[in-house]
Structure formats: C-alpha cells, structure tokens
C-alpha cells in the first residue's frame, strides 16, 4: 500500500506516480495503484474523527503486507495511517524526495527511511523489496554472546557451539571484530591499537563506523545462514557498540546516541536483528585482571598489552553499567551472572549450564532435550 499527502499538489502527484510506476515495474501488486487526485472537501476536521474519515484506508491497510509512505511533505492522514500500520505490525518504508530526513517523530522497529529521486527510485525500492524477502525467509536464530573484556565470551561460545552440534543442530559461528578476514575489521584493530590517537581523539560516532562496516560486510553470509535454518552464534555484535561506544558519551546524551547507533546498524545497514543476547556479567575489575592472563595471539595489538578500552578502567566500568542498562531495557537480553555472592568466578561448566537453561526457557531448545 502506498501512502502520500492528501492534498495532491502537482509535485506530490508526480512523486506518487513515480513510486507507483516503479513498483509496478518490479511486479508488486498494489492495493491502491491510482496516481492520485485532488481530495474531496470534508465538512469536519479529520483530526476529530480519524476513524470516520479514513475508514476505507484503514480497512485497505489490513490487507497490505507492507507500506510505502511519501514523507517529503507529510500530512495528518499519512501520519494516522502509519500509526495504524504499526498497530497492525506492518513494516513501513518512509521515502523523502532527494534529502533524507531522520523523521524523529516516528520511533518504531518497523519503520525504515530512504531518500529517492527519478534516477535512483528503482534501486531504492528494489533493495527494500530484497530486504523484505530476506526477512520472510529467515528461519534460523541469531544468538549473540556479549560481555565486557575477560568475561569468557569466546570460551562460552565454543562450549555452546559444541553442545548444539552434539544435538545435531545446524550451527554457524562468527566473531566480531574480524581482525584478520575483513578490511574494516583490520581498521578496528588499528583503532584499538591507538593508530588514530587515544579515545579522546576519536569521536564515538566515527569509531562506531569501523565496527558497523565490519558487520555490514558480514551481513550476506549471516543472512544466508539464517535462511538455511542455522543457529548463528555471534561473539559480539552491534550490541557491543551499544555498550562500549555509548559508554564514551556523556550520560545526558547516551539515549540520543543509542538511537543513532540503532538506526545506523539496523535501519541503514539493515543488519539481521538478533533473536537473543546472552550478557555474561562479570564485574569490570575482575574482567580486567583476566585480560592480563590472556594467552591467545592478539596480532591486532602488535605487541601492546592492552586495547584502548582495556587500558581505561573508568571506561570499562561505564561499559559494564551500559550492559546492565541494556539488559533491563531490551526483553531479548538475558543477564548471566558469572560470579557468586562472594565475587568469586563461577566454574566455566556452571556458566555453560546457565546458558543452556536460558535457551530452554526462551524456547530455543526443547525443554526435555537430553543432556
């Protein structure tokens, strides 16, 4: 279903015609393919009686799979129908003529934006249709293992993968950042080594781009795995930037930065949304001591002992706070405590069993599966 301004001036009619014709070229079946005509004059303000004035459109919306809205010059009707689309759990693509507007009045996981003109409209809509197709084809699950440095993410990822494979699940694994196999991952390594200056020299927005581009480059293979029905285990994901990069921002600006980061990762780059985030909670001070004991080859540091973040205890503590905040904010996050009441680290196997128990409670595994 295509939504456009009700006033139907010459420019808005041209934009609608361009969108409709392009969708028809892409073999999309439209519920309202008319190019538009001047509106019928109404005797009462529609704001007072939206159900009465827009009843026909609301009924039509129920039949739609998704919605495209021209938001270049939005009006009350467009906003009302978009809100109704969200109520019906319909994905909406908001289009802006030649200049992208973040349109901060709409905040929804179902809302995407892009800018278009007569030269790129075919590409914009074609890519969006492909995105919708991938969303429908997703059959697997994306499970992210998160936590501050030293919390045992790699160890628990390995144990979980081994367990799932022993139960004959199709499992794939990816580890971010990809220091060796990705151009952007190598740039992350250089950033963490300090090649671009200390933390005060690199704005969190810019630093986030290195990580986001690394993940965006991995998106096709993750989507292929999910389409094939695999359980994908990711050691870190966009969720890491949500904790570490947001922790670098002043507290009063963090929510704004978090919204920006979410838009970048999931709306602009269209990363597959994780189904479950397992946050391994280990106090930052204990985690830092464990980092010192790491024996694996950390080539990206080229002989240095710490990454930029690991060397900054204040930042590590702030990142821990952000992880705890995110675990409360999002229902698909689960916190796994990795220490007992005496702040002693729990045995690796006990933490692993906590993870398995979480997967059962969240219905990722049958509750009666044999150990």
Task: State the pairing for strand pair 111-116/141-146.
Answer: unpaired
pLDDT grade for 370, boundaries at 50, 70 and 90: very low
Give the pLDDT of residue 101.
Answer: 72
Which 8-state DSSP code applies to residue 111?
E
State whether 158 and 185 are in the same domain: yes
* Percentage of residues of the chain with pLDDT beyond 90: 69
Alpha-carbon distance of 212 to 254, in angstroms, equals 18
Residue 158 inside a domain? The answer is yes
Alpha-carbon distance of 303 to 281, in angstroms, equals 28
Give the pLDDT of residue 29.
Answer: 94
Distances from the Cα of 251 to the Cα of 39, 203, 310, angstroms:
48, 15, 20
Residue 366 inside a domain? The answer is no
Alpha-carbon distance of 337 to 354, in angstroms, equals 9
pLDDT in tens, 339-360: 999 999 999 999 999 999 999 9
State whether 121 and 86 are in the same domain: yes
CATH number for the domain including 9? 3.40.50.450
Joined tokens for residue 227: 């389409």
Residue 73 inside a domain? The answer is yes
State whether 306 and 158 are in the same domain: yes
State whether 247 and 290 are in the same domain: yes
State whether 344 and 280 are in the same domain: yes
Joined tokens for residue 263: 């838009």
- Best CA proximity match to 13, nearest among 62, 66, 63, 72: 72
Alpha-carbon distance of 341 to 343, in angstroms, equals 5
Give the pLDDT of residue 371.
Answer: 45
Joined tokens for residue 43: 């005797």
pLDDT in tens, 247-265: 999 999 999 999 999 999 9
Residue 362 has pLDDT above 80, yes or no: yes
Segment (H or E) for 34: none
Return the residue matching tokens 């693509």.
93
3-state secondary structure at position 4: coil
Residue 367 inside a domain? The answer is no
Give the pLDDT of residue 369.
Answer: 43
Residue 115 inside a domain? The answer is yes
Return the residue matching tokens 């080594």.
193
Where does a domain end: 73, 100, 133? 133
Whether a cis peptide bond, with omega within 30° of 0, leads into 317 is no
At 97, phi and psi to the nearest 5? -75, 110
State whether 347 and 242 are in the same domain: yes
**DSSP per position, 308-363:** TTTT-HHHHHHHHHHHHHHHHH-TTEEEEE-B-TTSPBPPHHHHHHHHHHHHHHTT
State whether 118 and 228 are in the same domain: no
State whether 159 and 293 are in the same domain: yes
Residue 195 has pLDDT above 80, yes or no: yes
Give the pLDDT of residue 85.
Answer: 92
Q: Look at the chain and report how many structural domains it folds into.
A: 2
State whether 213 and 73 are in the same domain: no
- What mean pLDDT do residues 69-91 have? 90
pLDDT grade for 367, boundaries at 50, 70 and 90: low
pLDDT grade for 76, boundaries at 50, 70 and 90: confident
Where does a domain end: 117, 133, 149? 133
At 242, phi and psi to the nearest 5? -60, -30
Residue 238 inside a domain? The answer is yes
Residue 370 inside a domain? The answer is no
pLDDT in tens, 135-165: 888 889 999 999 988 899 999 999 999 999 9
The range of the structural domain enclosing residue 144 comes to: 138-361
Residue 9 has pLDDT above 90, yes or no: no
* pTM for this model (two decimals): 0.85
State whether 87 and 126 are in the same domain: yes
Residue 299 has pLDDT above 70, yes or no: no
pLDDT in tens, 101-138: 766 567 788 999 999 999 999 999 999 999 999 888 88
Give the pLDDT of residue 56.
Answer: 85
Residue 368 inside a domain? The answer is no
Residue 270 has pLDDT above 80, yes or no: yes
Give the pLDDT of residue 49.
Answer: 53
State whether 100 and 147 are in the same domain: no
Where does a domain end: 92, 115, 133? 133
- What mean pLDDT do residues 199-207 have? 93
- What mean pLDDT do residues 35-64 have? 68
Region for residue 197 given its phi and psi (left: phi exceeds 0; alpha: psi -120 to 50; beta: otherwise)? left
State whether 280 and 344 are in the same domain: yes
pLDDT grade for 297, boundaries at 50, 70 and 90: low
CATH number for the domain including 251? 3.40.50.300
């Amino acid at each position: 279903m295509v939504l456009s301004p009700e006033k139907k001036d010459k420019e808005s009619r041209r934009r609608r015609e361009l969108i409709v014709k392009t969708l028809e070229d892409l073999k999309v079946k439209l519920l309202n393919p008319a190019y538009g005509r001047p509106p019928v004059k109404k005797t009462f303000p529609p704001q007072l009686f939206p159900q009465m004035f827009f009843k026909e459109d609301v009924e039509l919306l129920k039949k739609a799979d998704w919605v495209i809205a021209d938001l270049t010059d939005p009006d009350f009707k467009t906003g009302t129908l978009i809100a109704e689309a969200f109520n019906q759990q319909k994905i909406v693509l908001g289009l802006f003529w030649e200049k992208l507007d973040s349109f901060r009045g709409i905040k929804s996981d179902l809302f995407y934006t892009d800018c278009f003109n007569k030269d790129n409209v075919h590409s914009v809509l074609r890519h969006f249709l492909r995105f919708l197709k991938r969303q429908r084809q997703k059959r697997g699950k994306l499970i992210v293992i998160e936590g501050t440095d030293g919390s045992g993410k790699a160890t628990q990822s390995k144990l979980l993968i081994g367990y799932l494979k022993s139960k004959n699940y199709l499992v794939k694994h990816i580890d971010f950042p990809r220091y060796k196999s990705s151009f952007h991952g190598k740039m992350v390594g250089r950033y963490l080594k300090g090649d671009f200056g200390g933390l005060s020299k690199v704005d969190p927005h810019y630093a986030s781009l290195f990580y986001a581009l690394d993940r965006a480059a991995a998106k096709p293979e993750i989507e292929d795995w999910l389409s094939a029905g695999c359980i994908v285990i990711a050691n870190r994901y966009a969720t890491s930037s949500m904790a570490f990069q947001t922790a670098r921002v002043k507290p009063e600006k963090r929510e704004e930065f978090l919204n920006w980061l979410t838009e970048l990762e999931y709306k602009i780059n269209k990363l597959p949304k994780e189904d479950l985030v397992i946050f391994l909670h280990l106090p930052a001070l204990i985690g830092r001591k464990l980092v010192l004991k790491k024996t694996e080859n950390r080539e990206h540091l080229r002989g240095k002992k710490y990454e930029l973040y690991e060397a900054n205890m204040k930042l590590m503590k702030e990142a821990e706070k952000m992880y705890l905040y995110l675990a409360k904010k999002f229902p698909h996050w689960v916190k796994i405590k990795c220490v007992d009441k005496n702040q002693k680290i729990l045995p690796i196997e006990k933490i692993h069993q906590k993870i398995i128990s979480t997967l059962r409670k969240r219905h990722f595994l049958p509750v009666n599966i044999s150990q």
